[in-house]
Structure formats: C-alpha cells, structure tokens
Chain A
C-alpha cells in the first residue's frame, strides 16, 4: 500500500527561527511548545506518518536500489569470510604486525568502528535527555548503526589474538586451569565495556522497536510476517499503563546509556594511555577519544541519512534541519578534536620531554607524514567549511564531507597506533610498519558486513521510530489525527 499524504494543509504555519529545544521529553511536564515545521513537514497525520514508514517494510516489491546495495555489500562479506578463514588457518603472520608494531590495522579498525557507534547512542540517549525534538526521525537507524558498528568492532579484538578460538578466556568463568582475568588491565576493562555497550545498545534498540513492531504486526498482510512481528512485539497493545512503565524504563535506559557512551570510549583510550610510548601516555586521550568518536559517528550518520532520505522519499521526516544540526555537531566536535591535536603538540614541546617532542616532530616529517597531514587536512581543515550556513544546508557537500571526516578519523587512529609503536624509546628497536592486503581485506570486509546488516534492517524493520513521530504530529497539530 503506497503512502497517501493528506494534501490539506493543517497545523500551524512554520515557526520563525524555530528549532530544537522545544519541550516534550517523553515523561515529565507536557508539551510547552509546538513542534517546529523544520523538524517535521506540515500536513502529516498519525495515519500518514505510520503508513509512510511501515509501507517501506511491508511492501511486496523490494526496491532495485536495495538489491543492488545489498549485492555489493554481500560481495564484501565474501571478502571478509575469505580473509577470516585464511587468518584462522595460517595465523596472524598474514597481517603486517611484527615487533615493534605489535598492534596494527586490527586495533585501528576496532577503535574506528566503536567510535562510529557512539553517535547512535548519543542521538538516542543524550538528545532524549536534552529534549531535542530533532532526534526523533534519525534515532532508530542511528541506533541500528551503533549496534552493527559494535558488532564489526568486536570482531577485531577476537581476530587479532593469536588463537581467537580461545577468546572466551577473557571472561571470568570457573575453569579447570584455575586462572582468572587480571582486572587491573584496560584490555580486560575493554572486554566488559564493549560487551556492556553492545548489550545495552541492543536492549535500548529493541525496547524502542517494540511498539513499532506491533504496528507492523497489525498492518502486515503476509501471514508469516504477521506471526514473526507478533512474536517480536511481545503482545504490545498500547495500554496507557504499559506506556507509562515503558516511558519510565526508556528514560532510565537513556540515563544509563549516556555515561556508558562516555565510559566505553574512555576505556578504549585507556588501552593506549596505560602504555608508556610517547604519544600514548597522555591524559588528554579520554576526552579527545570521546569527542573523536562522536565526530566520526555523526559523519557516518550523515553518510547513512542522506541516501536514506533520498531513496525512500523521507525528506518530510529527515529535513534540512536534521542535516544542519548534525553538521553543527560535526563542527563542534571537530573543533574539540583540533584542540586535542594542538594540546598534544603544545605539551610535547612545553614538557621538554625529548621523547614526546621527537614523536610529535617525526609524525609531521617522518615516514608517516603523508598519513599525518592527510589527517590534519580531513579532520581539521575540511570541517571549517561547516562554519558557513550555505554549506551546512548543501546536501551533496555534507555527504562528501562525511566521507572525508571518516577517512580522517581512520587516519588519526592509524597515526596514533603505528607511529608511537614504530619509533619508541630505543632507536635499535625502530622498524617501519606496513599493512598487508589481508589487513585491508578484513577491514573492507567488515564494511560489507556492516552494510549487509544495515540493509537487512532497512528492509525488515521500521527505520524511523513511528510512535515517536506520532508524538511529534500530536504536538504539531494540537491533537488532530
């Protein structure tokens, strides 16, 4: 059933200069302001919002662009499977890691993927607590993005072990060898942090989906779909008592997820800070990593949101306001990241520590200077264009810059991991590092895995939170259906 828009213009005219910050978190004091038309195009009703989003899932005709996209992603997954199989059969030696650079692309990719996931939780949890209405149309697929990014990230710590099939040894379980994890190590903290993050993201996402899956259950015509969605919906029927508990739980989950997001990337940064190499052993890493994570995560949100709204015709729901707000967050976090780089360099000079200073100057002039300056270009220079409103509202430009930023953030993790290990304290231990084809194949493969998961999500589940969009409709139109 195709979407049927109500063409009659209802609701208030657009608010001049209206924007985020209008009231209406889920629980708590009710709506104290109308919904700006910049966040939801006027003229929508509960029915049109529901039908538009659910029809994407329940259509019998799978769009061609989806099949093409999934096809490419599946090709990359085949690359991933080949790379993993070869790795498990032959060993970590197929990668470029050697002494002294014992951590290579695997850890770079791990940090990159986890960082990307953080934006989804920020949008869902933090923007909910801050009562930002513009989170509503983007939070569902951003949470899905987080979930799949964490899944991709989690592969790397397992694969980079010499014997990944023994990965369960990281967990505290009673065993016949009578050994247990060593809890003063950030690598063990990482196990708990990333596992918790994956679990809580899954819980948050699924709880948010339940009422919308109930919508699909009630609208589906295909018997199998009806049964599957019915099982997934747990019998949701929209009872006011249930909604009350639901909203309370959701708000509490948001409150829990917020410190979790900050703590997870902080613990990831501790993987480096607890080590001694110059360029690693610095207290600026926790906030710098978290800001960098949000930076790359929002870039990925834009990379996903822009094609989604174009291919699925969702410009009414994901408006220019959403894209512009994401661009503003990119600018803000980009500036924090820039500050991080500047402070690192300044402290290296100001401290008088010859190892720190050598590391800083070698990064800019040595064997990895290409990666270093590319990183500065992508992360620091390119984001300055977002000071200009015309460019923040230019959709193709935002799409391009989202790729540039993600590339830059990957470069940043590469520079951090590789340069500090390649030349640390004793010159006789200096060796260069270069990644092999298998390193890159695994990375590209995880990109494919991410997109396979994401495309399946787009086809099988509502990509926008339907019931939250209904709340926006209710606030916009004063309760008319």
Chain B
C-alpha cells in the first residue's frame, strides 16, 4: 500500500506514565524506531526505552566552557601584556593569578549559554508549528495527558498495521495526525 504523504503519524493517548513507558518499550521491541513519546513532565528512562539513550548536550557545554575559559584568559593576556600594559603594584604583566576570576566567570558564562542554546538547537526549537498540534486532544500534553506517536517516516510504517498495534497496547484513544 502506498504511503499517504499527508500523514505525519499515528498518535495514541495513554492514561499515565507507566502505561506510556510500557507502550514505548513494546513499540521498540516491535521494531519501530521513528517514534516519540509526549508527556507533561519528564519520565525517567522514557527516552532510553524508545531508543534515544545519549545526548550531545554535555559535549556542547564542555566545548562552550573551554571556549570561554581560553577566550577569557587570552583576552586578558592580550590586553594586559600586549595591547595595554600597565605596571600595577609591580606585578608581572602576565599576572595570571589575578586573571583567574574573570577566566572563571567567562567559563561559566559561555558554558551556560552553550547549555541553553545547544539544548534548544539540538531540540530543533523554536518551532512554533508542528503537525502534532493539529491533533485534537494533543493540547493536554502540557497538563495531564501522555502520548506515543509512531511517525510515517519509520521504515516499518503502514497505517493500518500501526493502528492495530497501538490499539493492542490499550490506549485511551488512537488518532491519525495530518501534516
């Protein structure tokens, strides 16, 4: 059967986080990979269960922190030794102990910016519109509803099969999501 290009995926609503966790586990075991779970708060272990165990956020933060550290120190070095040397209390021009506080603050600043911006960029946010917002009951995801969505881009996706599979997991409701 040919795939419907206007279909984003099939969405199933569940009662609570335990049911969602179980559903995700079974969907993964069944072979689906292009899917995501949606919940009003983070569920420990959920992302690992659906096949997404590791994130690159820590690496981004490390890179940001190192950039801030070296950048901050080099800035102070260049200003104090090369560009605008001053004799302050007879200290050597490269008075590195005195440079530590600013270096430290720059490390934290750049790492924090990297954490926030990196997290947003990796998440693909801001993204104000997404096909899921078309689903009628999806607005409850920020209140008390839990969803699992198997996307049409999954290699094993076939609409009726996916619907039957999701119904077998005992959800509250199963709906199609248009693009």
Contacts and interface: CB of A to CB of B under 8 A. Distances in A.
B101 A189 contact: yes
B115 A249 contact: yes
A263 interface: yes
Nearest to B60: A249
Residue of B17, B95, B108 most packed against chain A (CB within 10 A): B108
A475 to B, nearest CB: 10
A27 B112 contact: no
A202 to B, nearest CB: 10
Given A234-B126, A237-B132, A245-B57, A267 B101 contact: yes
Contacts of A270: 101
Given A30-B45, A240-B38, A481-B16, A46 B143 contact: yes
B17 A474 contact: yes
A200 interface: yes
B31 interface: no
Contacts of A248: 55, 57-58, 119
B67 to A, nearest CB: 14
B164 interface: no
Given A179-B84, A183-B80, A203 B112 contact: yes
A230 interface: yes
Contact of B79 (A172, A215, A239, A245): A172
A207 B144 contact: no
Binding site secondary structure of chain B: helix
A481 B74 CA distance: 54
Binding site secondary structure of chain A: helix
Q: How large is the interface on B (under 10, 10 to 19, 20 to 34, 35 or more residues)?
A: 35 or more
Contact of A256 (B24, B95, B112): B112
Nearest to B51: A241
Interface in B19-43: 24, 36-43
Given A231-B128, A238-B40, A481-B144, A244 B95 contact: no
Contacts of A193: 101, 105
B8 interface: no
A274 to B, nearest CB: 10
Nearest to A480: B16
Contacts of B75: 172
Contacts of A45: 144
A14 B143 CA distance: 26
Contacts of A366: none
Interface string A168-205: 00001000001111111110110011011001100110
B96 to A, nearest CB: 10
B41 A246 contact: no
Contacts of A480: 16
B127 to A, nearest CB: 4
Contact of A240 (B43, B58, B118, B130): B43
A200 B129 CA distance: 28
Contacts of A47: 143-144
B44 interface: yes
Contact of B84 (A180, A196, A241, A468): A180
Given A237-B141, A247-B42, A479 B84 contact: no
B50 A240 contact: yes
A480 B15 CA distance: 8
Nearest to A270: B101
Given A30-B44, A180-B83, A192-B106, A239 B116 contact: no
Contact of A474 (B41, B57, B127, B141): B41
B1 interface: no
A367 interface: no
Contacts of B105: 189, 192-193, 195-196, 260, 263, 267
A467 B40 contact: yes
A240 B112 contact: no
Interface residues of A, number: 73
Interface string B71-94: 000011001100110101101000
B133 interface: yes
B139 interface: yes
A234 B125 CA distance: 6
A404 B170 CA distance: 58
B167 interface: no
A214 B61 CA distance: 25
Contact of B42 (A215, A244, A257): A244
Given A199-B109, A215-B143, A253-B115, A192 B57 contact: no
Nearest to B35: A240
A179 B106 CA distance: 21
Residue of A29, A200, A203, A249 most packed against chain B (CB within 10 A): A249
Nearest to B17: A479
Contacts of B86: 182
Contacts of A180: 79-80, 83-84
A189 B100 CA distance: 9
Contact of A214 (B44, B46, B52, B142): B142
A183 B142 contact: no
23 contacts: A45-B144, A182-B80, A183-B76, A189-B105, A196-B109, A215-B40, A217-B142, A218-B140, A218-B143, A235-B130, A237-B133, A237-B138, A237-B141, A238-B40, A240-B39, A244-B47, A246-B42, A246-B123, A248-B57, A249-B57, A249-B118, A253-B115, A257-B112
Given A184-B88, A240-B42, A245-B57, 19 more contacts: A47-B143, A47-B144, A50-B144, A180-B79, A184-B95, A189-B101, A206-B116, A234-B125, A237-B130, A238-B141, A238-B142, A240-B37, A240-B43, A241-B123, A243-B43, A248-B57, A249-B119, A470-B40, A480-B16
Interface of A: 26-27, 29-31, 45-47, 50-51, 172, 178-186, 188-189, 192-193, 195-196, 199-200, 203-204, 206-207, 211, 214-215, 217-219, 230-231, 234-249, 252-253, 256-257, 259-260, 263, 267, 270, 467-468, 470-471, 474, 479-481
The 6 closest A-B pairs by CB, nearest first: A46-B144, A234-B126, A249-B119, A244-B47, A184-B98, A235-B127
